[in-house]
Amino acid sequence: MNQQIFAEIITIGDEILYGQITDTNSQWISAELDKLGIKIRQKSSVSDQADEILRIFSEASKRAHLIIITGGLGPTNDDVTKKTLCTYFNTQLVWNEAVLAHLESLFFIRGRTLSELNKQQALVPANCEVLMNKNGTAPGMWFNVNNVVYISLPGVPFEMKHILKDFGFDKIKQHFKTPVIAHRMIKTIGIGESTLSEIIAGWEAALPAHMSLAYLPSAGEVRLRITGTGENQEQLNAEIQHEIDQVLPLISAHVYGFDDDTLEYAVGQLLKKNNKTIATAESCTGGYLAHLLTSVPGSSAYYHGSVIAYQNKIKTELLDVPSGILTTYGAVSEQTVERMAKEVRLKLGTSIGVAASGIAGPDGGTDEKPVGTIWIAYADEHKVVTRKLQLSALRENNIRMTALAILNLVRNQLNNS
């Protein structure tokens, strides 16, 4: 590429500013433009008010070569994007015959008559090129004014996506001569961002100039993203793979996967590869661990099931945890989870059994065992491994972190066996 192409995304709609809907459009468009090597400079959301829309168009046009606009193209009065585009470009609405024909056929197929209101969806600014919307009434519109391309699209996600996939991206590629770019993600667990960055500091500093590294932490894990730009896609992919091969030995114990892999998927793959099956015995996680494991399509190949023993009685009756253990050590104890893991493995006939018992909170803590005290266990035919976690006061977080800790324990055991 000769020049970095900058884009901006503008989403229009009061419902976005009121927080009534999650804007997923801008994330999807960002990810797609990123694949084309186009850099997003800014994403903005503004209300359905002409003056706000005019302002953001004008500001964005000073920063970007490409502006993608979604929303505000409905036929009702509160949708003003089309009229505002006319004001902005100093032009007027004209009838578009192709859109009109599409509307007539669309309504004919649906067995409805085309109302005057809906007919007006065929009115478009005189200076636009129409991008047909096969799935709806509001057409996409392409403007090229003063070396800036504006694409206006409906806000309904599947209509917007289809217009871009059917017509938009090809037109963008042709118009801007887009560069070669690649992203890879290394996914780690059980290590903090700062420790990770200390371990790989030397490698990071030695990365070639056309590559960059970002740390993306989220609850319990840190993702490392490597981004590269180049001339040739295959060569760039190979160069990034080479860098990954260099850094992996430094952090391999913490790497569970790459790119779109989730921990539950990675553990599922490991179980399959090792011909192992698994069962879970859950107390404080209350089914969340089972849910993570079964959220992976095809998990029935290695996941047999779970006993969720939310009451001590169930731990005794369904998992044969001796009531002596529960009274002597308590339900939240190493002895209890050890027994739960062993028993669920035997009862469900799997290679591996795992268990969790703890105080998820917000109540139920004691001085000796405060909220966030959680025991986890792993059992296979050879051994039992237990860990004590000391987590936070937040129930939701404790449940999630415990489930991830168990998955990571399984991963470590399978990798070291």
Site residues for its own copies, 274-333, by CB under 8 A, read 280, 282, 286-291, 293-295, 297-300, 303-311, 313-314, 317-318
Comparison of 91 and 184: residue with beta carbon closer to its own copies: 184
Q: What is the CA radius of gyration of the chain?
A: 28
Among 202, 217, 322, 324, binds its own copies (CB under 8 A): 217
CB atoms within 10 A of CB 128: 25
Q: Are 321 and 315 in contact (CB under 8 A)?
A: yes
Give 121's DSSP letter: G
CA atoms of 160 and 81, how far apart (whole Å): 15
Interactions with its own copies, residue window 388-417 (CB under 8 A): 390, 392, 394-397, 399
Contacts 24+ apart (CB under 8 A), 213-222: 216/185, 217/193, 219/397, 219/400, 219/401, 220/189, 220/400, 220/401, 220/404, 220/405, 221/187, 221/188, 221/189, 221/263, 221/404, 222/188, 222/189, 222/191, 222/192, 222/193, 222/196
Cβ atoms 358, 402 nearer than 8 A: yes
Q: Least distance to its own copies from the beta carbon of 167, Å?
A: 17
> How many residues lie near its own copies (CB under 8 A)?
105
CB of 321 to its own copies, least distance (A): 13
Considering only residues 228 to 267 of the shown chain, the ones binding its own copies according to CB under 8 A are none
Q: What binding mask, one character per residue, do residues 161-190 give for its own copies by CB under 8 A, x or -? A: ----------------------x-x-----
Q: Which stretch binds its own copies (CB under 8 A): 145-153, 242-250, 361-369, 379-387?
A: 361-369
**Binding of its own copies by 361 (CB under 8 A):** yes
Contacts of its own copies in 1-40 (CB under 8 A): 14-24, 26-34, 39-40
Check binding of 46 to its own copies (CB under 8 A): yes
Q: How far is the CB of 230 from its own copies (least distance, A)?
A: 17
Pairing outcome for strands 148-153 and 140-145: antiparallel
Chain-centre distance of CA 321, in angstroms? 39
Tell which positions 111-140 bind its own copies, by CB under 8 A: 111, 115, 117-118, 135
- Mark the segment that binds its own copies (CB under 8 A) among 75-83, 95-103, 166-174, 236-244: 75-83
